[in-house]
A and B are shown apart, each in its own frame.
Chain A
Amino acid sequence: MNIYLRYLRLPMMPNIWCSGCGNGIVLKALLRAIDGLQLAKDEVCMVSGIGCSSRLPGYVDFNTLHTTHGRALAFGTGVKLAKPEMTVIVISGDGDALAIGGNHFIHAARRNIDLTLILFNNLIYGMTGGQYSPTTPPGRYASTAPYGNIEAPFDICKLAEAAGASYVARGTAYQAAQLDKLIEGGILNRGFSLIEVLVQCPTIYGRRNRLGDAISMLKWQRDITMSRKAAEKLSPEELAGKVITGVLFAEERTEYCEEYEKLMARAQGIDDNRS
């Protein structure tokens, strides 16, 4: 059986994504990663917020939760803490996770709670029609930036690392095979994992910024990115304008739910009548 068919909810098809959208490529990589890890469907929970990519959980046969704008990580925190044995994967976009949900993003990373966040970065608010997001590069056009964007974008991976995430990786829809590995690594990490994926949005972002069709945008991803290994050999000047891909940061850190287990043991060991 085609591995995708094993996981897709066929009655939910067709999906809402535009032709040429990169989201489907990431969905397939995610399913290959889950399949490769042989996770039981009942033990996987997928949580999302609002936006194009946040429709993903509806399409897959797991315990799926499509929540409010920006709040997926907070909902996921509730699921994970209540049922730590569950693998909780959070699907979010750049607007969802970093603007309206920015607070939950840094705090989930700080707690190092075992959630795997797959952040679909298409550099724009696609679903609402092309407004600029916290990752839209300066000078790019959006429906709310008709004279060009004047805001500085977040470096999502640096933000996650600084906030305390224990696994930080970046991939692209263009390098789909590498994505499987990056996502697998995130799921296996016991702690907060971020996988930022650069996805093309030819319909909204591409058209407005004259980046051509989906294929041109995928080539553009290829041209602006460089693997971490290759980048290590270059000087900062040579790296200017390059987006580095691969596992950018990984460190063993105490995981929140495990720490909570210890807290419970301590609390249960304290005699109530002592004081």
Chain B
Amino acid sequence: MQSKTRVVKLLQGNEACVEGAIAAGARFFAGYPITPSSEIAERLAERLPKLGGKFIQMEDEIGAMAAIIGASLAGLKSITATSGPGFSLKSENIGFACMTEIPCVVVNVMRGGPSTGLPTSPGQGDVMQARWGTHGDHPTIALAPASVGEVFDATVLCFNFAERYRTPVILLMDEIVGHMREKILIPDPSEIQIVNRKKPSVPPEKYLPYENDPSDIPAMANFGEGYRYHVTGLNHDERGYPTSEASVVAAQEARLIRKIERYKREIIRYEQIGLEDAEVSVFAFGSVARSAKLAISEAQKMGIKAGLFRPLTLWPFPEQEVAQLARRASRIVVAEMNLGQMVYEVERCAQGRAQIARVNRADGEPIAPEQILERIQEVAG
């Protein structure tokens, strides 16, 4: 087979996100300026009109989230990008997209917080907000890439997941991943797998936009395609009509959770290094995983059997994998640029089988390999 052309570029994580979005078929962006995500808006403002795509800078983050949901319903793959404070503002409408099952991608380039915090510094303090930021029970898909190349692939995955599961998907970069520059090989479009929303196969009069489909993912008609239906953030029945009938509400809520839960084997992606015989395993994601890689290789040189578990998918949480991790290694070091968030998930899944140690930092400085190495040495005793 003839080798495909791959374009070599030197890009920022934020720029790679734009290229990934375009490759995935994104043709609509609405956003509001915020550091450290603004490069995503700026590059899309330049790129989208050339491709016949739409770009709009909205009056606020809430409006931007609203606009991408509207555009997705009208048939365009849609994306918005923001950082902590803007992510907080978008939360209500992220819940609307969950409830109404409208595909879209929300990028959060994480900075220090809470509040205005450290606008130009890295953080990983929004990981629980990504999971539970909007009110009510809902599923979440969130990916946290660790390199510029992976940002491209993860952005494509986010769109594919959004389209396949009819749900908003969150891309969590930390500021380091968003702003660092690396060499990236952009694959030929023919090599990129693209997923598009399932369209109804029934005539309009038989279409149920929220059908209890055997797949748990109902087909989605775009507005203007002859399937006139109702979309509401109220609890609704299979027709999309508001209801407070307990059995209908229960069935729809259960399906909403199930449609992600049952497919989580397809959604959960991770990297494992040296875990086969590790006595100490490090759990780290995003830019922290880069420091962790160096730390475990230094530890190995010192004779400590250390390994790395790096989730790309933070939500749904890789429960099975972390449980297995706890069975294999008696000590787990959880390193994250916050004061302890994902560690609770690791503890939950480890069920007391492993000793859990933490490396935390939320002062705007990256976690250095030495900090992780130090903790590995301590727990390796």
Query: A interface vs B, CB < 8 Å?
Result: 9, 11-12, 41-43, 45, 47, 57-58, 61-68, 71, 73-83, 85-86, 103-104, 106-107, 260, 263-264, 266-268, 270, 272
Contacts and interface: CB of A to CB of B under 8 A. Distances in A.
B62 A77 contact: no
Given A81-B54, A267-B50, A65 B66 contact: no
B230 A66 contact: yes
B66 A66 contact: no
Contact of A81 (B67, B69, B225): B67
A11 B239 contact: yes
B76 interface: yes
Interface string B204-227: 000000000000000000011110
Contacts of B92: 68
A9 B71 CA distance: 24
Contact of B67 (A58, A65, A74, A263): A74
Contacts of A264: 49-50, 52
Contacts of A106: 59
A63 to B, nearest CB: 4
Contacts of B46: 267
Contacts of B132: none
A64 B70 CA distance: 11
Nearest to B64: A74
A48 B78 CA distance: 21
Given A68-B93, A78-B30, A82-B75, A45 B223 contact: yes
Nearest to A105: B59
10 contacts: A11-B239, A42-B225, A58-B230, A62-B228, A65-B70, A68-B93, A74-B62, A81-B56, A106-B59, A268-B49
Among A45, A83, A85, max chain B CB count under 10 A is at A83
Contacts of B344: none
Among A43, A45, A63, max chain B CB count under 10 A is at A63
A78 B224 contact: no
Nearest to B93: A68
A78 B232 contact: no
A68 B96 contact: yes
A61 B228 contact: yes
A51 B242 CA distance: 14
Given A65-B231, A68-B66, A42 B226 contact: yes
Contact of A86 (B56, B74, B242): B74
A85 B242 CA distance: 28
A42 B74 contact: no
A77 B224 contact: no
A82 B63 contact: no
B137 to A, nearest CB: 18
Interface residues of B, number: 43
A63 B229 contact: yes
Nearest to B46: A267
A83 B223 contact: yes
Interface in B93-132: 93, 96
A66 B231 contact: yes
A79 B223 contact: yes
A12 B96 CA distance: 21
Nearest to B102: A65
B230 A77 contact: no
A207 B33 CA distance: 46
Listed from nearest, the 3 A-B pairs whose CB atoms lie closest are A78-B70, A78-B67, A74-B66
Given A67-B69, A77-B56, A103-B60, 16 more contacts: A64-B230, A65-B223, A65-B232, A71-B63, A75-B70, A78-B66, A78-B71, A78-B73, A81-B54, A81-B67, A82-B28, A82-B54, A82-B76, A86-B74, A267-B46, A268-B52
A73 B73 CA distance: 15
Nearest to A69: B92
Contact of A107 (B63, B70, B76, B231): B63
A68 B97 CA distance: 10
B233 interface: yes
Given A65-B231, A77-B70, A268-B49, A83 B59 contact: no
A273 to B, nearest CB: 13
Contacts of A42: 224-226, 228
B257 interface: no
A81 B73 contact: no
Contacts of B66: 67-68, 71, 74-75, 77-78
A61 B232 CA distance: 14
Contact of A63 (B28, B63, B78, B224): B224
A106 B30 CA distance: 18
A192 to B, nearest CB: 14
B51 to A, nearest CB: 9
B170 interface: no
A267 B49 contact: yes
A58 B54 contact: no
Contacts of B234: 66
Contacts of B70: 47, 65, 74-80, 82
Contact of A77 (B58, B72, B229, B241): B58
Contacts of A62: 228
A78 B74 contact: yes
B68 interface: yes
B24 to A, nearest CB: 16
Contact of B58 (A74, A263, A272): A74
Nearest to A54: B232
A64 B58 CA distance: 22
Contacts of A75: 66-67, 69-70
A41 to B, nearest CB: 6
Among B30, B54, B96, B223, max chain A CB count under 10 A is at B223
A254 to B, nearest CB: 15
B146 to A, nearest CB: 30
B224 A83 contact: yes
Contacts of A68: 66, 92-93, 96, 233
